[in-house]
Amino acid sequence: MIKRFLEKNIISRLFKGKAIIILGARQVGKTTLINSIIKKKKGTILFNGDESDIREIFKNPTSTKLKTLIGDKELVVIDEAQNIENIGLALKLLIDNYPKIQIIATGSSAFELSNSLNEPLTGRKYEYELFPLSFGEMSNFTSVLEEKRLLEHRLIYGYYPEIVTKSNYAKELLMQLTNSYLYRDILNFSNIKKHAKLHKLVQALALQIGNEVSFNELANLVGLNQETVENYIDILEKSFVIFRLTSLSRNIRNELKKSNKFYFYDNGVRNAVIKYFNNLTIRADVGALWENFIIIERMKRNQHIGKFVNSYFWRTTSQQEIDYIEEDNGVIYAYEFKWNKNKKAKGLNRFLKGYPNSKFEIISPENFEKFIL
C-alpha cells in the first residue's frame, strides 16, 4: 500500500474536539485513506453517502436519532458526505452534543460539501485536501531514482492511484476516469444544462496551460456568455478539476493586472480531456506539461510540510514573464520551469529590477527533486 502523507496529519488531529473533513476529486484515494486510518482505531462505524438508505437515515437529524444510530462507537466516518442532505447540521449536532466522538467526513465536491459545512461547522472542523499521489509519496514507496526514471510517464499519465498501480492500462483507465467521474458531481450539483459546452470549455483550458486566459475569448470559443464561462470555471475549480494562478502586480507600470492562468490537478486528466498521449519526443506541449506537473507537485509538497504561501505568476504587457512566484513571510521567490535547462528566462532582468530583493531559480529535470520533496 502506498502511504499517503496526509494520513499522519489526520491521525495527529483525532479526538481534538473537531470534525475532520477530507476533500478531493473522486478516485484520488479518499476511501483508501480512511480505511487505512480505521484499521488503526477500534470502535468505528462507517457510512457511505453514495448509498440511498444511508442518505435516508440522515434526513431530518436530531441528536437523539444520531446517537441511536451510532451507539457506543467513538469514531464515525462518513464517506462521500456531499450526497447527504443537511450533512452539516448532522455533524454539528454530533460535535456539540457528543464531543468525545470523532467524526471524519470525506467529500468529492468541494462546492457542494463546503457550502453545506462552512456555516454549521465554523470553528468545529479541520479541513484537508487530498490530491492524487505525489512524487514524494511514490519516491517513499519505491525510490527517488525509480520515480525520476518514470518522470516522462508521469508527465503524460499523471498520478491518479489506479493509473499508477495499473500503468499498463493507463490510457484506457484515464479515458474511463474522465468520461465517468470528471463531471459527475459537477452535473449532479451545479444545474449545468449544457454538458457539451462544459466539456468544450475544459478542452480549451487544457490547450492553454501556462498561458494567460481571457474569459471573453473563451466565451466566444465555447459559445457561451462571459458570465456563464466564469461560473463554469468557478465550479471546475471547486470540484478539483482545475486551479488558477493570478498575476503578481505591485511595482511595475506595465505588469498585467487581474490576469489568470489555469492548470489541471493532474497531468493525466489534462491529456485525457484532449485525448493526447503521444510521447514527449514528438509533442509541442512539453513545456506546458512540465509547468503543470511542477506547480501541482509543489502544491502537494507545501501541504505536506504545512507551508502556507501566496502563489502567483508574473507577466508584463510586452510578454516578459516568470512562470511561478511564491511569497513566504514577505520574501518573494521566483521560479522558471524549463524542460530544457539551457533556455533562458526572458523576463528575469525586468522582474529583478522591479523586485530587487527576490530570489530566483530555474527548475529543470536536472534539479527538480529538491523543489518538490
CATH value at residue 40: 3.40.50.300
Phi, psi (5° rounding) for residue 297?
-70, -35
Average pLDDT over residues 252-269: 88
On the question of pLDDT at 182 being above 90, the answer is: no
Ranges 130-139, 178-187, 283-292, 317-326: which has the least confidence: 178-187
Q: Which residues contact 93 (CB under 8 A, 6 or more apart)?
A: 61, 62, 63, 66
Same domain, 92 and 169: no
Average pLDDT over residues 359-373: 97
> What does the pLDDT look like over 86-101, one tens digit per residue?
899 999 999 999 999 9
Last residue of a domain, one of 85, 102, 129: 129
Residue 41, pLDDT score: 81
Average pLDDT, the chain: 93
| Interatomic CA distance for residues 105 and 127, integer angstroms | 10
> Which three cell numbers mark 298?
509543489
Same domain, 202 and 224: yes
Residue 319, pLDDT score: 83
Last residue of a domain, one of 129, 153, 170: 129
The kind and range of the H/E element at 310 are strand 310-315
Residue 48, pLDDT score: 95
Number of neighbouring beta carbons within 10 Å of residue 168: 7
| Confidence class for position 281, pLDDT limits 50, 70, 90 | very high
Same domain, 121 and 151: no
> What is the 8-class DSSP label of residue 172?
H
Residue 245, pLDDT score: 97
Same domain, 219 and 92: no
Residue 366, pLDDT score: 96
| Confidence class for position 195, pLDDT limits 50, 70, 90 | confident
Burial (CB count within 10 angstroms: exposed 0-12, middle 13-18, buried 19+), residue 289: buried
Same domain, 157 and 123: no
Same domain, 199 and 77: no
Residue 100, pLDDT score: 92
Task: Give the number of domains in the chain.
Answer: 2
Residue 252, pLDDT score: 66
Same domain, 125 and 139: no
Residue 251, pLDDT score: 63
Same domain, 194 and 112: no
Average pLDDT over residues 171-189: 89
| Buried b / exposed e along 337-349 (16+ C-beta atoms within 10 A) | bbbeeeeebebbe
Same domain, 43 and 96: yes
> Which three cell numbers mark 156?
503524460
Last residue of a domain, one of 82, 112, 129: 129
Number of neighbouring beta carbons within 10 Å of residue 71: 8
| Interatomic CA distance for residues 222 and 242, integer angstroms | 17
Same domain, 172 and 193: yes
| Confidence class for position 32, pLDDT limits 50, 70, 90 | very high
| Confidence class for position 114, pLDDT limits 50, 70, 90 | confident
> What is the 8-class DSSP label of residue 226?
H
CA Rg value for the chain:
22
| Confidence class for position 318, pLDDT limits 50, 70, 90 | confident
Q: Are 97 and 61 in contact (CB under 8 A)?
A: no
> What does the pLDDT look like over 300-312, one tens digit per residue?
999 999 999 999 9
Same domain, 309 and 352: yes
Same domain, 122 and 205: no
Q: Give the whole-number percent of the chain exceeding pLDDT 70.
A: 99
Residue 255, pLDDT score: 73
Q: Give the whole-number percent of the chain exceeding pLDDT 90.
A: 81
Segments forming the whole domain that contains residue 35: 5-129
Ranges 13-22, 63-72, 185-194, 306-315: which has the least confidence: 185-194
Average pLDDT over residues 62-74: 92
